[in-house]
A and B are shown apart, each in its own frame.
Chain A
């Protein structure tokens, strides 16, 4: 039996078009996963279980096993990967499977080795005979076109997202997976830099809140509402007993709230007040900063170097800044405006607003500018229920301002789940785990943020 896939030829009936068939072809060999910290124990166990002596990559110059050695040996171990490739008879395969099932034996997994193909684009020009596109490719193409049509057509049949019941939790908490998540933000400090907070709101009674004003002549108490709404989304309570009224609306419901007033009660602030708020958050070890604020950026303009450097230093200190991409667009009229400052800084995560159908909101800005200005991720930003000033208590709001604290709250959940993660790794966790959507990355970044 050849160990093909490592220098051998693929089976003869390989489609010449370069698109693999749906069913994976196997070589008859097995890949065995060994414990990373105990590879030699794993090797010994494989030899004990099967009698197969494994050649090791460590014996070869630069760890490269020669192709003919692969052909001759009954098995090899790639010692840097902790993976062994073995040519096993059925009895030996059963022994390996038994070793995997036994937690005490240093063999973690076994799977069949698959044949892989280079992916290639089809040759240009006409095709006839044996080089004609196989039926499978054409069917796949047809399916992709059908999918595209059904997504774009207004009467596309069943709604993309099942109707959402907001009697106990908001749609944003549901579709981001916050409701299903075992994490609460416990032990994580989240700074919301905005118009301040309403610490005496009935839903926040007994909730510790650090407050600081960076607006001369104004207290941290929110006189606008914007900050209160954002704090509610990022950190509001989940327990029905702590809520005056359902639905619950907070993502990181056990996080420690740091409310920095960097916008006045009239909603205005300066670069200086924003930076002062960021500085305060970093100094107080806030792992997440939520900034539902921005200034419009014209097409072609690049990002602020001062803010980018501040954001990099914040990241080095362990703080990830998450900011709104801005609401200057009118997509219904074909107008998509660039991501706002400072969300357009590469080291700041920029957030788009998605609606309950997981479409980009009409007003949500996009990745227009080439120098920085990338839109990173999407959050619920249309029809968002959260806390407001008293006596109003709650309101629905729309905006990338509402999407941003969803992402910030989820970031706090990731910090709780991965306390050793750097800010850069946290950025990666959010991006990697986002729910990919049938939207352009220009409009939704990596997709809808998903909780751990």
Chain B
């Protein structure tokens, strides 16, 4: 499974649930569907990555990145 963030296209912003349904059918485990900014976060089987990109209503799919701030005692935070 690959952690991904998905951007919904402008045309489907008001009908996100139809797109998330299709994402689930394609095997995506959805953690969060974010209506205000039109993005979805979750996991996809790596072999499904390309197919998910072609789903109607999906604008972009990216691997989720990680972020790290330094430990509290660091000189630069």
A residues sitting closer than 8 Å to B (CB atoms) are 194-195, 224-226, 229, 263, 267-272, 274-276, 278-279, 282-283, 292-295, 304-306, 309-310, 313-314, 317, 327, 341, 363, 389, 397-399, 401-402
Pair A275/B70 contact, Cβ less than 8 Å:
no
Q: How many residues of B contact A (CB 8 A)?
A: 31
Pair A276/B32 contact, Cβ less than 8 Å:
yes
Pair A305/B37 contact, Cβ less than 8 Å:
no
Pair A275/B71 contact, Cβ less than 8 Å:
no
With A268-B68, A272-B3, A309-B59 as known contacts, state yes or no: A229 contacts B37, CB within 8 Å.
no
- Minimum CB–CB distance for A88 against chain B, Å: 56
With A271-B41, A271-B65, A272-B64 as known contacts, state yes or no: A305 contacts B77, CB within 8 Å.
no
With A269-B66, A269-B68, A310-B37 already in contact, 5 other A-B pairs whose C-beta atoms are closer than 8 Å: A194-B69, A272-B41, A275-B34, A282-B36, A309-B37
Pair B37/A314 contact, Cβ less than 8 Å:
yes
Collect the chain A residues with CB atoms within 8 Å of residue B36's CB.
279, 282-283, 313-314, 317
Collect the chain A residues with CB atoms within 8 Å of residue B6's CB.
306
* Chain B residue with Cβ nearest A224: B72
- Minimum CB–CB distance for B4 against chain A, Å: 9
- Minimum CB–CB distance for A386 against chain B, Å: 11
Pair A282/B37 contact, Cβ less than 8 Å:
yes
Determine if B24 is an interface residue (Cβ-Cβ < 8 Å).
no
B residues sitting closer than 8 Å to A (CB atoms) are 3, 5-7, 13, 31-32, 34-39, 41-42, 59-62, 64-72, 75-77
Pair A399/B77 contact, Cβ less than 8 Å:
yes
* Chain A residue with Cβ nearest B61: A306
Collect the chain A residues with CB atoms within 8 Å of residue B60's CB.
305-306, 309
* Chain A residue with Cβ nearest B77: A399
* Chain A residue with Cβ nearest B68: A268
Collect the chain B residues with CB atoms within 8 Å of residue A389's CB.
72
Closest CB pairs A-B (n = 3): A272-B41, A279-B34, A267-B69
What are 25 residue pairs bridging A and B, where the CB atoms are less than 8 Å apart in the complex? Answer: A225-B72, A226-B69, A267-B68, A267-B72, A268-B68, A270-B64, A271-B65, A271-B67, A274-B67, A275-B39, A275-B41, A276-B32, A276-B34, A293-B69, A304-B62, A305-B59, A305-B62, A306-B61, A306-B62, A309-B39, A310-B37, A327-B76, A389-B72, A399-B77, A401-B69
With A229-B77, A270-B3, A306-B7 as known contacts, state yes or no: A276 contacts B41, CB within 8 Å.
yes
